[in-house]
Each structure stands twice: as C-alpha cells, then as structure tokens.
Structure 1
Amino acid sequence: MTMADDDDDFLFQDEEEDEADEVSELVPGMPPWQVLIVDDDPEVHAMTRLVMRKFAFQGRGLAFISAYSAAEALEVMKGEHDIAMILLDVVMESDDAGLKLVPRIRDELGNRAVRIILRTGQPGQAPEDAVIAGYDVNDYKAKTELTARKLVTATITALRAYHHIRTLERSCQGMERVAGLGLCQMAQAGPSSAAGAALDQMAEVLEQPADGLFCVIYGADRLSARILAGRGRYQDAAGHPLATVADTGALATALRSPGDLRHEFTDDAMTLAWPLTPQASSGGGAHAGAVAMLHLHLVRPLDEIARRLALLMMMRIADALVTAWALEQARDPA
C-alpha cells in the first residue's frame, strides 16, 4: 500500500529559485553523476529534477533514475554500479521500507561507495539519532528542512565523498594490477617480446586499446632508434626506425624536447620515457644511458591516478627490459 507523506508539499518551498542555481559550469562530454530518487510520491521526483536541473559538480551534471518503492530501488542497484547518491524516502510500501533498504545495499550488494541521504516527511517515526547510529547512511533530512539550497549543499557533499571513495578504490585496484604484472616472464622472453608484453599490459592496466609502440633510444639521434614492438596502427613497425612514424602528436613533441626526453600527455595519446641506467635496475651494462620509450594512443584522456599508474608501470617495465638484456647476454656472451 502506498503511504504518501503529508509534508511533501513543503519540499523546496522556502527558497528563491536562483539560490539553487549557484553551481559550476557543465563541461561538454563529461559523463553525468547518477542519482537514484527513491520515493513513492511522483511529485517528489518531479520537484527534485526541477530544482537540480542546472546543477553541476566538477563539470558534470546529474542523471536521475527513479524508483517508487524500496523493492524497485534494490533492483536498480543490482543493475547499476556507478550510482553516486541515493535520495531515499523512509516511508513507502511500509513505515520503514527505506530503512530496511539500507543494509541490503550495504551488506547484500556490498556497495559501500554510494552516498545515501534519507528524506522523510514523518521524522517522528524514525528519530534522527537512532537512524544515524543504527544505519549506514550519510545524511538524514526531514522534508520540511530540505530546502533547495540545502539539497544542493547535501548533493555536493555527497558527490565529493563518492568521488574520493572511487578515486581511492581505483588507485588500490591499479596498484594491485601493477603489482601483479608478470615482469619475470617478460624478462625471460627477451627484449623484443618484453617490449610487446609491456605495450599489452600497459594498455590493460589503463583500460585502453593496445595501440602503440615501444623503442629504445640511444644518444641524440632519436629518430634513428629502432622500434622494438608495435601494436594497433604500428603492428608492422617493429624493426623500423622511429622516423617512419614519429611525425605528429605527443610522440613528436617528446622527441623534439631539448635535452632529456620527457613524458608527454595529451587527451588522445601519451609518451613515456624512462632511463635505462644502473639506477633503474641492478644491471645496465652496455645499455646504460639508453632511454626506453613507450607511446600509446588513448580513446579517452588519463586522469591523475591513471598517469601515476602509467609512470609506476613504466619504471617496472624498464627494470624488466634491463633484466631481459642481462639474461640475453648471459645466454650468449659473444
């Protein structure tokens, strides 16, 4: 049975319209934050969408998903894995339907990242102190106090926390993937095979297509360096000099830089350069002073976490490459 909250009419009433519009600018192409509205009153859904229609945070707007019962909301959460915030009514198909949904999201689905804001028109049925202490929610508002401005403020707070949680999760996942790289196998396969594996694994860690090249540069004549491995558009470039492909983009910019080679990031490509010195590994030998260069085309720009992961991985690839040379020399001293 649907139980409409008598106080829903107060929602957003005491704010001037322009006060809710103090938001950041939308950035074209940025995906919206997904927000789930869970309420049995369609007017609440409509008013929330209206008030937040111009909202943006970190250049991203909002994409609303509606559920009209706790059961419906649970099904949505099972299928959507990037919902940042839930605006959750307490009283729906039962007096505590919203409250019962919280542990199902947190424990049954294992979703600790989504921010949950409880909204109720009957706060006496679920006292705030008891709810905050007993349920893993992030905010609790009576609908009479949740004005337009306060909704904007609560949303910014929730999205900022969600962003930080997801950033930490991605960083940990990326570190685990880098730590799990088969560097020993790369080294034992020999320099050329190691270079190809480096391209494949860099693309996998960054969740980008394997479309790039790997080479080692000696001295100032960078364009004469031979490509060790290529993928995608460079599939047939192995064995050819860099001059045959390095004419535009991030790779060309990095090669033109005076002095030491440098890393170069653009929205659609990255070029990483790492010295193959004794400091990069326990070895070095005849290849000390050389620079390993990996160039990868991107289908989407890398954020700060992805860039740091790429640099960390490049350091480990350099170690593997130096080890591969040492093993090759040990097998064939001549």
Structure 2
Amino acid sequence: MDDLLFIDDGEEAKPPALSPACNEAGWVVLVVDDDADVHAVTRMALHHFLFMGRPLQLVDCFSAREALAILPTLPDLALILLDVVMESEDAGTRLARTIRATPRYDHVQIIIRTAAGGYGGRGAFRDIPIHAFVWQSEVSKTRLESLVSSALAAYCTASAAPA
C-alpha cells in the first residue's frame, strides 16, 4: 500500500509564498512604449507566458512621463520593457537613469527594446545597469520569452541577495 501523507491537526497547509514582485495577479511588468502596436504585440506574445508557474501582469505606459507617474503605484514591479525614443529622442535613456538613481528600484530589471537607438543606441546605456538591450527587429516571440525569463530570474536572484 502506498504511503499517505497527512497533515497533523495542529498544522495548516500553507500556499506557496509568492516570490518578490509577484502579486496574486502575477509578475508585474511595466511596458513603456509610445507605439500602441508594440503594446498589442507584447500582450499577444506573452499572453500564455508563465514564470515559476505564475503569469505576467502587464501594465501599459505610453511615455516616460506616464511611467514616472505610475511607478510609485507599482510596489511589486519586477521588470520594465522600455523603449528609448518616445516624447523625446532620449526619453527612455533619461527614464532608465532616473529609475537607477532610486534605491527602491535597485532590483527591478530593465530591458531596452527599441526600434531607434536615440542617443548612441546601446552605447547610451553603457553606464546604466540594464538587463538587456535589443532592437525590436531582433525580437521574436521566443526571444522575448527568453529575455523575460532571464530578467525575472535575475530579479529573483537580486531580491534574494542580502542587502
């Protein structure tokens, strides 16, 4: 006969703890891009995506200014998918610098995903800690899933490290 596992009357089964930046709705990912089509394609590509058994909760912003306004309302933010050229040629670069200058967002991962590099392309982010820089033309569904998985794994590692 198979061994059965019983919980003692004094113990209660506990659901697994949510990982940092994963609320009940899933991993919080901020998509910052001025192109509505990029938001739509991102949603389609990541619709069924799971990381550690949890879905993504995508939050849309269409400018760096809008992203700055919404950031304080996202305490569980894990990842930002960020365009460079929005309301100005360097809006994404300036937003990334602002985020990195705010200790609250130290562990949040940033993936730069852009069609136009703005000031200096990849070089503009040489001194800004980001997870990845990719051209939109290089990003397939599989590549996007791989980038998001890698970034969320890095987030979990950074969040678990002692301060």
Identity %: 36
User: 1:154 matched to which residue of 2?
Assistant: 147
Q: Equivalents in 1 of 2:124, 2:140: separation in Å? A: 21
Which residue of 2 is the match for residue 323 of structure 1? none
1:132-176 superposed Cα distances (whole Å, 9 cap, x missing partner): 42222111010100111110000000000111122225xx6xxxx
CA distance in 1, matches of 2:129, 2:136: 20
User: Greater helix share, 1 or 2?
Assistant: 1
Note if 1:33 corresponds to 2:33. Answer: no
SS for the counterpart of 2:142 is helix
TM normalised by structure 1 equals 0.40
User: Aligned in 2, Cα 1:68/1:119: closer, same or farther, shift over 3 Å?
Assistant: same
Report if the CA contact (8 A) 2:30-2:81 is conserved: yes
Report runs of 4+ in structure 1 exceeding 6 Å deviation: none
Read off the aligned partner of 1:39 and give its amino acid letter: D
Helix, strand or coil at the partner of 2:154: helix
| Letter matched to residue 56 of structure 1 | L
Match of 1:69 in 2: 63
Query: How far, CA to CA, are the matches of 1:30 and 1:80 in structure 2?
Result: 13
Which residue number in structure 2 is paired with residue 144 of structure 1? 137
Task: Determine the C-alpha separation between the residues in 2 that align with 1:123 and 1:161.
Answer: 24
1:121-132 superposed matches below 5 A: 121-123=115-117, 125-128=119-122, 130-132=123-125
Q: Which residue of 2 aligns with 1:51?
A: 45
What TM-score results when the alignment is normalised by the length of structure 2?
0.80
Aligned to 1:272: none
User: Aligned-pair distance for 1:77?
Assistant: 1.2
* Paired residues of 2:84 and 2:118 also in contact (CA < 8 A): no
Amino acid in the other structure paired with 1:102:
A
* Counterpart in the other structure of 1:89: 83
Structure 1 unaligned spans of 5+? 1-28, 173-334
* Unmatched 5+ stretches in structure 2: 1-22
Matched, 1:118 2:112: yes
Alpha-carbon RMSD across the aligned residues, in angstroms, is 1.8
The number of residue pairs the alignment matches comes to 141
Change (3 A) 1:86 1:124: closer
Instruction: Say whether residues 1:104 and 2:66 are aligned partners.
Output: no
Larger Rg: 1
Match of 2:16 in 1: none
CA contact (8 A) 1:30 1:59 kept: no
Return the structure number with greater relative CO, CA threshold 8 A, min gap 6: 2
